[in-house]
Amino acid sequence: MGTFQNVKTPPQRLSFSKKGKEWRKNNVDNGDNNSLYHNEGVRQSLRNRVINLNLYNGIINVNDMKEVVNPYGIDADFIPKAIPHHPIAVPKIDLLVGEEIKRRFDWSVVVTNPNAITAKENDRKNVLTQKITQFIQGNYSEQELESKMKDLEKYMKYEWQDVREKMANQILKHYWEEQQFAYKFNNGFKDAMIMAEEIYQVDIVADEPILEKLNPLKVRAVRNGNSNKIEDSSIIVIEDHWSPAKIVDTFYGEIKPKEIDVIMEYGGRSSKGGYSDDDNNHVLLRDSVEDFLGIAEINGHNFGSDYTDPDGNIRVLRVYWRSYKKIKKVKYYDEEGETQFKFMSEEYIPNKDLGEEVTDLWVNEIWEGTKIGKEIYIQMRPKEVQFNRLNNKSQCHAGIIGQVYNTNQGKGISLMDRCKNYQYLYDAIWDRLNKAIATNYGKIFELDISKIPDNWEVEKWMHFAIVNKIAIVDSFKEGSHGASTGKLAGSFNTQGGRSIDMESGNYIQQQIQLLEFIKMEMGEIVGVSQQRQGQISNRETVGGVERAVNQSSHITEHWFMQHEHVKLRVLTAFLETAKIALKGKNPKVQYILDDQTIQTLNVDGDVFCEADYGVVATNSSKTQEMEQTIKGYAQSFLQNGGNLSTIMDIYFSPSLADMRRKIEIAEDDLHQKNSEASQQQSKLAEQQQAQELQLEQAKMKLEDTINIRDNETKLQIAQSAQDGLDTDLNNDGDGLDAEKLNLEERKFQDDRSNSSNDLMLKIKSLENDMNKHRDNVKLKEKQLKKATNKPSK
């Protein structure tokens, strides 16, 4: 399509004192030279990316379409030039974009540099030692100490976190919600589906870290060694057109008053084409100037000498390039005589008296510069955030993170690229179908106008034929032309009244079947089946649909995997940016958690910036399945005595690890409640058994008492009878003594009867007490069971 004249890149391995204003301007202009049209390595051409984006937006590139519908290159009028567009590829892209919105992104921040890891282990050890010491000194009982140790185990397992990691997680959660990371990542995923790449920028604006999604059409990446990562490029150029107000708002601290006047003057101009290579230093060797400029103008390029677009917006060019700086690795000895190393700037003078030795090193350094309009240069300096690592001083990048969706250094391929040929065929066949329907007139009646009565128009004759079902013929109409002049029309041997078959239903049906075939093939190629889109036939089984959806998800899983990898790199870069922005500050912010609770965050910037951080994710297909399974068992968990509040916590859990922690805690609480209920039931059973034993002992004692009294009664009766007999023999039946004896016997019998009645009353009283006790035991068991199953608030 087009190439540029090679422009020599300024030398980069220079000392800082030699990198003056002219050197910096030359580097910005070098980036400007690569900004017009540059295709680097694995990236798709700008033309292809614009065509894909327009196709998603409903605009067809006819020249690109002809390569599909006209494979032989025939220059003929039947090749369509303007046809309606039916976007069958858009729902498949939107489906994956929608799934990305609902897909869980489970991440966590950990420290990665060795010093921070060692400090984390020491802190954990100190916390354990301190807690155990407090327990020992607290004079707790054995049971209380066991409970305290279990609580400590839960705390160390689930809640304890290194202060740096905890702060980093909270900071990232705060900015995630405040700057709507999820929305930006979703738009980036859509870029990947359409243009096979997604690009983000992390920077500091107004002393705050910011994340911005970039338009891949306006980002140039030069010399990236065929890497599919945009941050590996030596030069990155971002070209856009901004309003004068936005320029002043963004660079108010850098722009001089005279330059503001120039910007306002620029804003009064407008540009409409007119390529000028004198001002841009662009020498374009092109095959088709018109095609090239059309693509570039769609992308926001305007080639007028005033560097403005038709609306008066001004061209803003931001250039980031890799340079080199000199540092010194200093070897020295500490107070204990151990060898140590430190890195100093190139101006450092070693103290040889202390045995310091110096080694010169050249490491990467990112520079930035901004060009506004034609001649305003600002912010030409080393970038404030270099994204270095503590264990690698040369590792750095510009804070622009991007991914090209390719395979083994090949050109990036998007989902739209895979759909495009089918989309063109579908539109072409649909155009044929429309034309076939428009010309499908069925059977047409052939009318001999020589038989139409005089002074009748064809429309009048058609009215009588269609409405009144009468075909009026004038057989005596005279001919008026040629040899038939003066003759009767009815004498001619005409064949009028025939019908012409214009029915094309079979052809229309064939075109409809082709359209369905193309849709099915497109879904097969891109991995988004009709079942996944919800288009299910009534002949399909439930198992068959589920299998088709699962296989479709396996085919598209690699898109999500690459996207999540990009998000991890972006979040890691954002943390590094936040370290610089928050250093020396102690802001206090509030953020809302997933369960709508508000948490206050106190940031210690100095502690936060002491470590390197990495972001890890646990998103896999098994993780997704486990999440669905856990939520599926929520109902059974409730039926088995689980709490509704626990189910709500599970649904609002930000991560699978947090979900697992809450489930395990809920299980421990449930086991503890069941154990307490079991102990209470055992205690009640023991009390009931003791009461029954006491009742049995009382009954046995009562029976013994009755038996003893009966024996005594019998003995007394026998003794009294013997005494009475002796008296009668001695006193010859003294009547008074016999009567006395009878009275005493009756009295004894009455006392015995009363005593038996008292004993029976006592037995009944004891039985009543036992029944009341049984009822109380049953009532307590019901209350205990009800309290155990009742959901806690």
* Structure confidence at residue 708 (pLDDT): 79
pLDDT confidence tier of residue 300, bands split at 50, 70 and 90:
very low
- Is it the case that residue 754 has pLDDT exceeding 70? no
- Delimit the domains of the chain by residue range: 2-82+197-412, 660-789
Per-residue pLDDT tens over the stretch 315-361: 899 999 999 999 999 988 888 888 888 888 888 888 888 888 899 99
Identify the weakest region by mean pLDDT among 167-171, 227-231, 252-256, 516-520.
Answer: 167-171
* Structure confidence at residue 755 (pLDDT): 58
Phi, psi (degrees; rounded to nearest 5) at 227: -80, 145
Over residues 631-652, mean pLDDT: 63
Identify the weakest region by mean pLDDT among 3-12, 23-32, 349-358, 409-418.
Answer: 3-12
pLDDT confidence tier of residue 37, bands split at 50, 70 and 90:
very low
Identify the weakest region by mean pLDDT among 67-71, 262-266, 635-639.
Answer: 635-639
How many residues appear in the chain? 793
The span from the CA of 284 to the CA of 296, in Å, is 13
Identify the weakest region by mean pLDDT among 195-199, 267-271, 645-649.
Answer: 267-271
* Structure confidence at residue 282 (pLDDT): 36
Q: Are strands 208-214 and 442-445 parallel, antiparallel or unpaired?
A: unpaired
The span from the CA of 787 to the CA of 231, in Å, is 61
Task: Tell me if 177 sits within 8 A of 594, measured CB to CB.
Answer: no
Task: Kindly report whether the global pTM for this prediction surpasses the value 0.85.
Answer: no
Task: Tell me if 371 sits within 8 A of 314, measured CB to CB.
Answer: no
Per-residue pLDDT tens over the stretch 737-750: 555 555 655 665 56
- SS3 (DSSP) at 68: helix
What is the radius of gyration, based on Cα positions, of the chain?
48
Residue 294: HSE in the Cβ half-sphere, 13 Å Cα cutoff = 9
* Structure confidence at residue 116 (pLDDT): 46
Q: Is the dihedral of CA 693, 699, 705, 708 positive or negative?
A: negative
Q: What CATH number does the domain located at 660-789 have? A: 1.10.287
Per-residue pLDDT tens over the stretch 49-102: 889 999 999 888 888 888 888 777 777 555 667 788 899 999 999 999 999 988
260-297 per-residue burial string, b: 16 or more CB within 10 A, e: under 16: bebbeebbebebeeebeeeebebebeeeeeeebbebbb
- Is it the case that residue 698 has pLDDT exceeding 90? no
Range from 236-250, 522-536, 543-557, 745-759 that averages highest in pLDDT: 236-250
- Is it the case that residue 6 has pLDDT exceeding 70? no
- Is it the case that residue 517 has pLDDT exceeding 90? yes
- Is it the case that residue 635 has pLDDT exceeding 50? yes
Q: Where are the beta strands (DSSP E) in 579-646?
A: 588-592, 598-602, 613-617
Identify the weakest region by mean pLDDT among 34-38, 56-60, 127-131, 687-691.
Answer: 34-38
- Quickly tell me which residue has 């039926």 as its tokens: 639
- Exposed, middle or buried, 122 (CB in 10 Å: 0-12/13-18/19+)? exposed
pLDDT above 70 covers a percentage of the chain that reads: 64
Q: Is the dihedral of CA 660, 664, 670, 673 positive or negative?
A: negative
For the chain, what is the total number of helices (H) and then of strands (E)? Answer: 22, 17
Cβ neighbours, 10 Å, residue 595: 11
